[in-house]
Amino acid sequence: MRDLSAGPRVLLRRLRELMAEPLEPQERLDQIVRQIASNMVAEVCSVYVLRSDGVLELYATEGLNKDSVHLAQLKMGQGLVGTIAASAQPLNLSDAQAHPAFTYLPETGEEIYHSFLGVPILRTGRALGVLVVQNKASRTYRDDEIEALETTAMVLAEMVATGELKKLTKPGLELDLSRPVSIEGNGYNDGIGLGYVVLHEPRIVVTNLLNDDSELELKRLAEALGSLRISIDDMLSRREVSMEGEHRAVLEAYRMFAHDRGWVRKLEEAIRNGLTAEAAVERVQSETKARMLRMTDPYLRERMHDFDDLANRLLRQLTGYGANMTGSGFPTDAIIVARAMGAAELLDYPRENVRGLALEEGAVTSHVVIVARAMGIPVVGQASGLVALAENRDAIIIDGDDAKVHLRPLADLQRAYEEKVRFRARRQEQYRALRGIEPLTKDGQRIRMQMNAGLLVDLPQLNESGAEGIGLFRTELQFMIASTLPRAEEQEAFYRSVLKQAGGRPVTFRTLDIGGDKVVPYFRAAEEENPALGWRAIRLSLDRPGLLRTQLRALLKAAAGRELRVMLPMVTEVSELRAARELLQKEVQRQSKLGEQLPKTLKFGAMLEVPALLWQLEELMSEVDFVSVGSNDLFQFAMAVDRGNARVSDRFDVLGRPFLRILRDIARAGERHQTSVTLCGEMASKPLSAMALIGVGFRALSMSAAAVGPVKAMLLALDAGKLCAEMTEALDDVKSTVPMREILKDFAVSNGVPV
């Protein structure tokens, strides 16, 4: 019987020799097509390469008119070649002219060839070009011939990707691989980052494509698959993988794929045709990816992603390639590009070099996004298709303001963004100059300006921004990014280092605010129909006193000898505060019984974010040392709009009359009771709404670190007395139909207040 794989093997061996010879790129291509034609007993063999303008250009041919090289061209989707590139699928035709997509190119002289076999030249699922063989006689190519041509196409993909063919391009008609691409996503953190792509899961570059000994490669593959399966079983048996849930489901899917006979058979077949084990994995992965990119069903796409991740793991097993490229090769202005990633993984990158984060998935509330925001880097999520299009070290711009990612930007765009960045930097410089200036309004009102934080990466911002302290420390973030419940000692060490870095400045620790949209993976509660109104924050803490007491103990120990400020989230009734205070007292007594040093002073406060508290203001103010308004939640509950639902979250204005009147009542109650009242929701971070807050009587605000400069610039130019008078009139005017936002904007403009 004829050994069907002998043909491809001989061809691949010959191609390997050709790749190693010191030839000019055109000469190498010419020889490659000649070899393929002769090996496959074809009269024609041609290579078309995709240009950045979406045109497939004939780069080399054996059999067609040589003068048509670099002249003959077809658009993506046009003709047989364009159809192959657009669908990323082979075409095998015994009578090419009869195919509806056939387009006659007179310059090539191809009309005499009837049979046609074309395969896409693929790299990470993208078609970079098309490889074609043709014969005069009408025949159908066998499966093994298609397979052989697809394998050969990998060699060409490598030539395109390594940049060798760039030398053959005409100016302005670069290869598709360097095409500029702009992708629209969702902006998850403002700002602009210019830099170079760092793929979080770097594409493993397989340079050793062709094998010397198929049996040996099959053995390598079997071994790698074996260890891959063991490592998945291992992960599944680890304790931190809870018995149910997403994570486990993904691993179960991995296990199923790792045992998938169809997949393994395809890999083995590619090896028998002459590829190394890693090249076989890359090839099958590329085909899967090409299918994935065309899929619309989100469930199937997700499953294909799992396959892709699995192939990456297998490639790492085979090549011993490390997980990421931290270290000396790391660019000084890196933009991390990933499909999705864990929060802790982002923290592993050298912070000072990371200029932005672009994700194919992600959500405003995903942990990695929370961490990126704390790091102050721009983030764009839901940038679909980005990972497949990007190569390590490609130039990239990420625009968190406009929710766009520009890959390989053209020079004009690059310049425009550089100008934008310079402008921002100048403004930042102006804000920095305000750091040491006391936050007094023009008429001498002292405004306390603090910042919000939740992770250690936030803390350098205290000095940077000139904030007077931390008005809201969201302790749940440490819990959200950890894979297991942080132990008491870990919590204590964490709080201790927060206080140390804050120097003598006050830090207000909010006790755990988990539940609702703040998901802690190892703390699974039952599904809730309305999680925002469910078992969360202080409700959960009072039902699980062990958790709260552990945290309070850690805080007491960490703040020994200095001031400790503790604040409770989502208080609905004053009785909850009393119950929590009792727990705190118990912990204080315990500490003193043990002879441990206690904090010098203890301040106890409540978040005001549930409307029911508005009718308990008198009791509340006499019960606590301070109140902090959580305007994000208070607005959500007062107006009945889900803060995470983009369809309704902007429907009503935080600067509308109802909400401003609520806030004014709170500020007045604070004044009556001489209780310190501050506000720590997003409202405080925008100069216009911060101005409105001062207008209704707030004298203390806690905001994102980046907002301290702009808000200070606003208040230094503000006559608070004049604003208060105008706002009182406008808020009390029940006949007015002029939106408060307009009134406030007009005030700012006519009084020269920068908002």
- Active-site amino acid positions: 367, 680
- 576 counts as binding Mg ion under rule CB under 5 A: no
Report the site for Mg ion in 5-64 (rule: CB under 5 A): none
| Angstrom distance (rounded) from CA 691 to CA 676 | 19
Segment contacting Mg ion by CB under 5 A, of 137-145, 293-301, 406-414, 629-637 = 629-637
Interface with Mg ion includes 630 (CB under 5 A)? yes
Instruction: List binders of ligand PEP among 603-622 (CB under 6 A).
Output: 609
Give the three-state DSSP class for 362: coil
409 binds, among ligand PEP, Mg ion, none (CB under 5 to 8 A by kind): none
Angle at 365 between CA 362 and CA 366, to 5 degrees: 45
Sequence-ordered list of residues with C-beta below 8 angstroms from that of 533, at least 6 positions apart, any chain: none
> Among residues 81 and 694, whose Cβ is nearest to ligand PEP?
694
Nearer to ligand PEP, 46 or 631 (CB): 631
Q: Which does residue 62 bind out of ligand PEP, Mg ion, none, counting CB within 5 to 8 angstroms by kind?
A: none
Does position 360 bind ligand PEP by CB under 6 A?
no
Binding mask 159-188 for ligand PEP (x = CB under 6 A): ------------------------------
What is the x/- site pattern for ligand PEP, positions 617-646, by CB under 6 A?
-------------xxxx-------------
> What count of residues does the chain have?
755
Provide the mask over 536-565, with x wherever binding to ligand PEP is found by CB under 6 A and - wherever it is not.
Answer: ------------------------------
- Asked if 380 and 398 count as a contact pair (C-beta separation under 8 A), the reply is yes
Single residue of 145, 492, 633, 682 touching Mg ion by CB under 5 A:
633
Do 653 and 741 form a contact (C-beta atoms < 8 A)? yes
The footprint of Mg ion on this chain (CB under 5 A) covers a number of residues equal to 3
Distance in angstroms (rounded) separating the CA atoms of residues 680 and 470: 10
Taking CB under 6 A as the rule, does residue 458 contact ligand PEP? no
Binding mask of the shown chain, residues 415 to 444, with x at each position contacting ligand PEP by CB under 6 A: ------------------------------
Question: Interior CA angle at 377 toward 486 and 570, to 5°?
Answer: 45
In angstroms, what is the minimal distance from the CB of 662 to ligand PEP? 13
Amino acid at 712: K
Place of tokens 């998850």: 188
CB of 534 to ligand PEP, least distance (A): 14
Going by C-alpha positions, the residue among 529, 446, 491, 531 that lies closest to residue 715 is 446
- In this complex, which beta carbon is closest to Mg ion, that of residue 115 or of residue 452? 452
The DSSP call for residue 203 is: P
Q: How far is the CB of 236 from ligand PEP (least distance, A)?
A: 34
Distance CA 130, CA 43 (A): 17
* Binding-site member from 639, 680, 727, 740 for ligand PEP (CB under 6 A): 680
Q: What are phi and psi of 656, to 5 degrees?
A: -75, 165
DSSP designation for 455 = S
**Of 393-401, 543-551, 624-632, 730-738: span binding Mg ion (CB under 5 A):** 624-632
**Helix (H) or strand (E) run with residue 692 in it:** helix 687-695
For residue 248, the SS3 value is helix
Residue 63 backbone zone (phi > 0: left; psi -120 to 50: alpha; other: beta) = left
Calpha distance 258→434 (Å, rounded): 59
Q: Does 474 bind ligand PEP (CB under 6 A)?
A: yes
The sign of the CA dihedral 540, 542, 544, 548 is positive
**Partner from ligand PEP, Mg ion, none binding residue 341, C-beta < 5-8 Å depending on class:** none
SS3 415: helix
Question: Is the CB of 69 or the CB of 455 nearer to Mg ion?
Answer: 455
Minimal distance in Å, beta carbon 629 to ligand PEP? 7
Stretch that binds Mg ion, among 51-59, 286-294, 627-635, 688-696 (CB under 5 A): 627-635
Q: Which is nearer to ligand PEP, 42 or 453 (CB)?
A: 453
Residue 292: CB minimum distance to ligand PEP, A = 36
Are 443 and 720 contacting, i.e. CB atoms less than 8 angstroms apart?
A: yes
Nearer to ligand PEP, 176 or 513 (CB): 513
Partner in contact with 631, chosen from Mg ion, ligand PEP, none, beta carbon below 5 to 8 Å by kind: ligand PEP
Work out how close the CB of 474 gets to ligand PEP at its nearest, in angstroms, rounded to a whole number: 5
- Of 175 and 701, the one with the shorter C-beta distance to ligand PEP is 701
Q: What is the rounded (10 degree) CA torsion for 156, 157, 159, 161?
A: 170
Q: How many residues bind ligand PEP (CB under 6 A)?
A: 10
| Cβ atoms of residues 430 and 705 within 8 Å | no
- Determine, following the binding rule CB under 6 A, whether residue 681 of this chain makes contact with ligand PEP: yes
Stretch 305-344 residues interacting with ligand PEP (CB under 6 A): none
The answer to whether 78 and 86 have CB atoms below 8 angstroms apart is no
Q: Supply the DSSP string of 589-655, one letter for each residue.
A: HHHHHTTPPPPSEEEEEEEE-SGGGGGGHHHHHHH-SEEEE-HHHHHHHHHT--TT-HHHHTTS-TT
- CB 367 to Mg ion: min, Å: 17
380 DSSP β-pair partners: 187, 358
| Smallest distance from Mg ion to CB 512, Å | 12
Binding pattern to ligand PEP, positions 499-518, x when CB under 6 A?
--------------x-----
Q: Least separation, in Å, of the C-beta of 680 and Mg ion?
A: 9
Q: How far is the CB of 363 from Mg ion (least distance, A)?
A: 18
What single letter denotes the amino acid at residue 396? Answer: I
User: Shortest Cβ distance from residue 633 to Mg ion (Å)?
Assistant: 4
Cα dist. 154→27, 73, 121, 129, 685 in Å?
A: 18, 22, 6, 11, 53
CA distances to 251, 466, 690 from 678, rounded to whole Å, are: 46, 18, 12
532/570 Cα distance (integer angstroms) = 10
Nearest to ligand PEP of 84, 607 (CB atom)? 607
Q: How far apart are CA 661 and CA 655, in angstroms?
A: 10
Q: For Mg ion, which is the closer residue by CB, 679 or 753? A: 679
Select the binding partner of residue 521 from ligand PEP, Mg ion, none (C-beta < 5 to 8 A, by kind). none
* 191 versus 471: smaller Cβ distance to ligand PEP: 471
Question: 193 is in the binding site of which of ligand PEP, Mg ion, none (Cβ under 5 to 8 A by kind)?
Answer: none
Query: Of 308 and 609, which has the nearer Cβ to Mg ion?
Result: 609
Q: Under rule CB under 5 A, which residues in 595-614 are in contact with Mg ion?
A: 609
Residue 211's binding partner, choosing from ligand PEP, Mg ion, none, with beta-carbon cut-off 5 to 8 A by kind?
A: none
Q: Report the distance separating Cα 481 and Cα 239, nearest Å.
A: 17
Question: Which of residues 253 and 677 has its CB atom nearest to ligand PEP in the complex?
Answer: 677
Closest CA to 187 of 343, 372, 458: 372
The CB-of-485 to ligand PEP minimum distance in angstroms stands at: 20
Q: What is the binding site for Mg ion (CB under 5 A)?
A: 609, 630, 633
Q: What is the binding site for ligand PEP (CB under 6 A)?
A: 472, 474, 513, 609, 630-633, 680-681
